[in-house]
């Protein structure tokens, strides 16, 4: 059995201890309901978003059954239902959309994060013999981005503006997985979302 949910929760709990109050968590859900269920069980503020109706409906049903408050919305990447810098962490529950490039996706999610906010990206390991076996046991689903090698994932994260990029390997399940995390630094080139809001309402 893979320990992927445990690795993700460990990273997020460390982030929750470093900030006041509850963690403002966004989950980009394209599947991996076991991980989504583990995240929804935590006492955080959740926004579950995605571009696939089926996984979102399942997430909504799980949240409702567990009496966990969560906002569940279907969206496009260019219309994410959260304000810039409004989240403490974003979890990519099952990879990225395929319509645009990896770096552009990461930058879009990075804009949702407050300075110091964390992006958590669980992904299959495609390097080495274990990765080759994993691709046979768990093939890439249609509409899912092509898996990247571990060093390429780190490079894309850093190019998208994330620092303190780290990877944690999970125990071997049906296919090997890893979790890459990165923190969003200050973005002085981006306009302050509060000032934008004030200008639009004056």
- Report strand pairing: 113-124 vs 177-184: antiparallel
Domain that holds residue 147: 4-201
CA dist 98 and 175 (Å) reads 22
pTM here?
Answer: 0.81
pLDDT in tens, the chain (202 residues): 468 899 999 999 887 655 555 799 999 988 888 898 899 888 888 889 988 888 888 888 888 877 777 888 888 877 887 889 999 999 998 878 767 788 998 999 999 999 999 999 998 887 765 555 555 555 555 545 566 788 889 999 999 999 999 999 887 666 778 899 999 987 655 655 555 444 444 4
pLDDT of residue 202: 44
CA dist 165 and 12 (Å) reads 14
Quick count: other Cβ atoms within 10 Å of Cβ 75?
A: 15
Q: Into how many domains does the chain fold?
A: 1
pLDDT of residue 124: 83
**Rounded to whole angstroms, what are the CA distances from 39 to 7, 27, 70, 188?**
11, 9, 11, 31
Q: What are phi and psi of 2, to 5 degrees?
A: -75, 145
pLDDT of residue 194: 53
CB 180 within 8 A of CB 154: yes
CATH of the domain at 194: 3.40.50.150
Give the tokens for residue 134: 């994993």
Q: Is 35 helix (H, G, I), strand (E, B) or coil?
A: helix
């Amino acid at each position: 059995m893979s320990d992927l949910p445990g690795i993700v929760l460990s990273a997020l709990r460390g982030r929750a201890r470093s900030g006041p109050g509850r963690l403002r968590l966004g989950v980009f859900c394209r599947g991996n309901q076991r991980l989504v269920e583990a995240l929804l069980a935590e006492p955080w503020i959740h926004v579950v978003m995605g571009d696939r109706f089926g996984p979102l409906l399942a997430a909504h049903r799980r949240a409702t059954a567990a009496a966990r408050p969560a906002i569940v919305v279907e969206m496009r990447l260019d219309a994410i239902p959260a304000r810039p810098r409004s989240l403490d962490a974003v979890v990519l529950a099952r990879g990225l959309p395929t319509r645009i490039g990896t770096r552009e996706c990461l930058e879009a999610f990075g804009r949702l994060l407050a300075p110091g906010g964390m992006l958590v990206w669980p992904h299959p390991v495609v390097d080495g013999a274990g990765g080759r076996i994993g691709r046979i046991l768990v093939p890439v689903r249609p509409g899912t981005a092509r898996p990247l090698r571990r060093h390429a994932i780190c490079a894309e994260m850093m190019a998208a503006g994330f620092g303190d990029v780290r990877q944690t390997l999970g125990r071997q399940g049906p296919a090997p997985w890893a979790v890459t995390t990165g923190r969003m630094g200050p973005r002085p080139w981006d306009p302050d979302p509060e000032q934008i809001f004030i200008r639009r309402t004056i």
